[in-house]
Amino acid sequence: MIEKMKFLSITGPKSEFDRVVNVYLNKYEIHLENALSELSSVHDLKPFVEINPYKDVYSKSTELIERLDKKNINVKGDMTPAQASLIINAASYELEDLNTQIKELKADRDHLIDLMKKIEPFRHLDYDINKILEFKFIKFRFGRIKHEYYTKFSKFVYDSITTLFFESENDPEYIWGVYFVPASQSDKVDAIYSSLHFERIFIPAEYEGTPEEAYNTINQKKEIVLNKIRELNEQVKLRLTNKTEEILLAHETISTYTRNFDVRKLAACTKATDSDSFYFILCGWIEENNVASLLKDLENDPNVYCLSDDSHEGLTAKPPTKLKNFKLFKPFEMFIKMYGLPAYNEIDPTSFVAITYSLIFGIMFGDVGQGLCLVIGGALIYKFKKITIAAIVAIAGIFSTIMGFMYGSVFGFEDVIPYAWLNPMDNVMTVLLTAVGFGVFLIIVSMLINIINGIKAKDIEKIFFDTNGIAGLIFYGLAITCAILIATGKALPATIILVIFFAIPLLIMFFKEPLSHYFEKKTKIFPDHKGMFFLESLFELFEVLLSYATNSISFLRVGAFALSHAAMMGVVMLMANVESGNPNILILIAGNIIVAGMEGLIVGIQVLRLEYYEMFSRFYKGTGKVFKPYKSK
């Protein structure tokens, strides 16, 4: 089901905005909309624009709580924004000297890390860097070059120019190294290296010894700096030890007011006609069963007014969708959300999916033993890990167990218990025809749901003229009836009846667009390009007729999988040599695990495919908007 929504607007003095948001929006689930968009017809509305006064304090409080020891501390109590700001500013001021030292040390650390990164690729060069940097008549260039260019350089260029290249390090993409060139030829050689995409790395004059020695020395300096930072952070914690609770409470208060401040982006402001006072307006959606409680709370708040409206006409925003289903059906909401939430005026298909998915799964994978394993395994995983798909597996497993009794199958054994309905392998045609018949029934139900959705949306085309509307239902119903009569050897209805009930629905579906325009009293009935319209409608009608047949036949897979399960378990029984009376237990166990795992996964996917393509495509769009209350943020 979809929760019924009411549109409301909350108005009050501008000075009361933060209090209203903190009290009411944090208590009730209200999906906010942009008030300026929704109340566009109201004059003198302006955006609620203010500079966030809590921005700097929030930044300071965030930095403070990162340094606190928050273990086993439960924050309780109330605090005003002024009190919270005072506490945070005082704590930040008290740590100012330590923060300055930490900032300087972090700058030193970053500089040392940068030095290490620059010299690291050249650690294999066994030469004093200072001596290289002091060369006068020979130029040097540290850098890197891609493998593809280095190969070309080595084969075609290296021997023809005056340069020495010393390779230091390489990875799958680059080769690091340093090349030397006489100062008199440096411009020419540098240009050649640049043309080969040699990326130069500038080495500062801060290194001592070989690159390896320089790297280790800098690393030691970095560790010393890191230890000093750790010591200063410990001093910070010690200074804040007795103030942890009040700082956390202050941070929560400022965080709340900072978050509340963002609501101004969705609010509007207006000036009172009889004074210079300004009022705010907030608009949004609330569940119908919460409206009375909200209005009752607001009765004791004389400065704040709330208006709720049952009619959704004239609103820019569509009502959001919040699903509400039985606990047993709730896991199947995952499949609905994967496809898209239903629009507010659509039928929630969760219950339909829960029943049909579980039933089809059971028909395709009917086995008492394996079904019970799915139930137990899925239930345990859902209980301890809260994985939604595990709950679906457990529910589907219940139907697998039930159908296992109907087929008389327990872990592949078909002679342990008597079947309550039939043995699939002994009644192949019955299983396949029953599957198609069940599919036809589900397609008809899907069409009926589409007609109901059309009534809810007041869409004439969807109700009467659509391929899944009344016209399509009559045509499909008569086609199935004729197929059954032919299969059973009974006479068909009179030709005139067949012509009427086949031709009229086809013509209605062919001209559904002009008919819709006519009944909606639009000025243009037919499109401008009539020839293209007739051609498109003809191909569309052919596709529809083809889909009626293919969608119905598609349900053959339901019976086919019921047969394939029996066949696969028959192979397992043969491999385990069950007929000898002394079966191989290990093969039986392994075979059951492989069949249950592989077939369970494939069946689960195939059933979902039937839901989406054979049923959802007939009645469901999934264009709903998620209900996102401010409280949840």
Residue 267 has, within 13 A of its CA and on its CB side, a CA count of 25
- What pLDDT shows up at residue 131? 81
Query: 3-class SS at 140?
Result: strand
Distance CA(300)–CA(298), nearest Å, equals 5
**Is the sign of the CA dihedral 563, 565, 567, 569 positive or negative?**
negative
CA dist 277 → 47, 237, 259, 598 (Å): 15, 47, 25, 70
Query: 3-class SS at 10?
Result: strand
Length of the chain: 633
- What pLDDT shows up at residue 382? 93
Distance CA(177)–CA(141), nearest Å, equals 8
Residue of 412, 308, 400 whose CA lies nearest to 357: 400
- What pLDDT shows up at residue 264? 87
Distance CA(12)–CA(414), nearest Å, equals 73
CA dist 517 → 111, 124, 459 (Å): 73, 80, 11
Q: Where are the domains of the chain?
A: 5-48+267-309, 127-209, 330-619
- What pLDDT shows up at residue 334? 94
H helix intervals, 153-210: 186-195
Segments of the chain scoring below 70 in pLDDT: 70-73, 273-276, 312, 314, 632-633
- What pLDDT shows up at residue 335? 94
Distance CA(248)–CA(76), nearest Å, equals 10
CATH classification for the domain delimited by 127-209, as one of 3.20.20.70, 3.40.50.1000, 3.30.70.330, 3.30.70.2750: 3.30.70.2750
Residue of 111, 127, 107, 105 whose CA lies nearest to 214: 127
H helix intervals, 423-581: 428-457, 460, 470-487, 495-510, 512-519, 530-554, 556-575
The tens digit of pLDDT for each residue in 231-259 reads 998 888 888 878 888 888 888 888 888 88
Distance CA(326)–CA(71), nearest Å, equals 39
pLDDT averaged over every residue in the chain: 88
Q: What is the assigned CATH class of domain 5-48+267-309?
A: alpha beta
Can you name the residues that pair with 413 across neighbouring β-strands?
A: 410
CB 512 within 8 A of CB 468: no
Q: Which structure tokens are listed for 465?
A: 């003229």
Q: Which structure tokens are listed for 59?
A: 């930044």
* H or E element in which residue 283 lies: strand 278-287
- Is it true that 5-48+267-309 and 127-209 share their CATH fold? yes
Q: Which structure tokens are listed for 318?
A: 């569509």
- What pLDDT shows up at residue 371? 94
CB 322 within 8 A of CB 6: no
CB 618 within 8 A of CB 443: yes
Q: Which structure tokens are listed for 438?
A: 């069940």
CB 428 within 8 A of CB 419: no
Main-chain phi, psi angles of 508, to 5 degrees: -65, -45
* H or E element in which residue 180 lies: strand 174-182
Residue of 433, 358, 436 whose CA lies nearest to 403: 358
Residue 32 has, within 13 A of its CA and on its CB side, a CA count of 23
pTM as predicted: 0.74
